[in-house]
Structure 1
């Protein structure tokens, strides 16, 4: 029995658009709710949300069998973080702040078993292998791992072509907020230099045959990126959806005559 197919990775290879949403509430109950809303993929955010390994595991369990693909964003691309996330069942990883091909190659190695990589061989006791119920997991797991790297600095843009040339990198995600800051335009995501840089980056990613992704809260901008060829686009975040809806309801209720 082989490792489960990563349907998200398969869809990206086919060029099928995947619409997603961020999850920052760090709660399995909220994750289960989000799974019912129709998104193709949901990010369990370990960089800017209060997630640890156990909360990540709980959300993976909540999403299992829902048809929605979980993407785990780690705090950083440390090999031990990658190993633990994969062992608890993540198949798609999103790694922030990748700036060089050397970094990208190290991430690929950390997500692959020897001899191709350095991932620790502990699947006999791992959830990823069904607690030893998937006997061929070790031989088949590598092919189902989807590695997405975030390019979100000036240096990362300068090295984008080299990063794209790294075998094993399945997609590149442009981080618009950090990129704007790196270009000298903090909190100015609509600055012409920033928007031009994002458009050029997505065009280069697609031309290289890799999947391009981004997070954007404006649907018109999302449509623009999809037209450029971006294939995994996130259009919101659970925290923002809840906060905005609650603030709007509160204001409207307090304005009642």
Structure 2
């Protein structure tokens, strides 16, 4: 049997925009709940969320019953960690803080088996190959890996055209939060200068024939980036949705008492 088909990579190739959500609660139950909602992809975050390899595997297992693509963001683009995540069954990686051609080329090298790259060969032992049951895994794995690199600094933007030209990079993802900080707008990823930089980056990425992505929960920016042809977009996070829903529930819980009191006072 060959490596499993990467539905996220296939959808990008076919030009179908993919809508996703950041998953940062580090819990397989919440991941399972979100997997059934209808998102195209869910990003398991190891950079800022309290996840590790085992919790990432548990969340991928929880998602596996649903037609949703798990994407993993490691804390850094280290080859040894990439190898572990690929062996664990992740087929789509989003690597943060990519700023140079050399760095990007090293990442391409890390996700491919020899002779095309340097990924270590341990397929007989790992979840990615069905613990050795998929006899053609080694031959077919490279084609199903989707490598996304995150551009989130001015240095990264300066190198964007050269990074986008590298064979093996499937998509470039703009990180507005860190980009805003680097541009002098800490805490304001919706700043007009950041928005303009993202839209300009989209044009450059598309000109190189690659796919572009971004994260934002701002409805205005979602509309702007959709109009600009974003290929994959995360529209928020599980943390943000839970906090928002909790605030709404708390505000709504005793609103009838407030309304009743107001009517009585005005009677």
TM-score band, normalised by the shorter chain? over 0.9
Q: How far apart in 2 are the matches of 1:218 and 1:165?
A: 30
Per the alignment, do residues 190 and 218 of structure 1 end up closer, same or farther by CA in structure 2, a change over 3 Å counting?
closer
Matched residue, 2:117:
117
State the TM-score, normalizing by the size of structure 2: 0.94
Give RMSD over aligned pairs.
1.0
Unaligned runs of 5+ in 1: none
Matched with 2:232 is 232
Give the 3-state SS of the residue equivalent to 2:75 in structure 1: coil
Partner of 1:151: 151
Q: Which residue of 2 aligns with 1:139?
A: 139
CA deviation after TM superposition for structure 1 residue 256, in Å: 4.1
TM-score (norm 1): 0.98
The match for 2:43 is 43
Q: Secondary structure at the match of 2:94?
A: strand
Q: Is the 8 A contact 2:22 2:42 kept in 1?
A: yes
CA distance in 1, matches of 2:132, 2:96: 31
Give, in whole Å, the separation in 1 of the partners of 2:185 and 2:236.
22
| 1:221 match | 221
Q: Deviation at 1:65?
A: 2.9
Mean alpha-carbon deviation: is it higher for 58-67 or for 170-179?
58-67
Shift in Å, 1:179? 0.3
- Cα distance in 1 for residues equivalent to 2:37 and 2:219: 17
CA distance in 1, matches of 2:85, 2:213: 21
SS in 2 for 1:148: strand
Assess if the C-alpha contact under 8 Å between 1:24 and 1:239 holds in 2.
yes
Moved over 3 A (4+): none
Counterparts of 1:72-83 in structure 2, within 5 Å, are 72-83=72-83
Matches within 5 A, 1:50-129: 50-129=50-129
1:223 & 1:26 partners in 2: Cα distance? 29
Q: Distance in 1 between matches of 2:152 and 2:254?
A: 41
1:212-256 Cα deviation digits (max 9, x unpaired): 000110233112112211110111111110111112211222444
User: Once the 2 structures are TM-superposed, how far is the Cα of residue 7 of structure 1 from its aligned partner?
Assistant: 1.0
Pick the structure with greater CA Rg: 2
Within 5 Å, which residues of 2 pair with 1:196-207?
Answer: 196-207=196-207
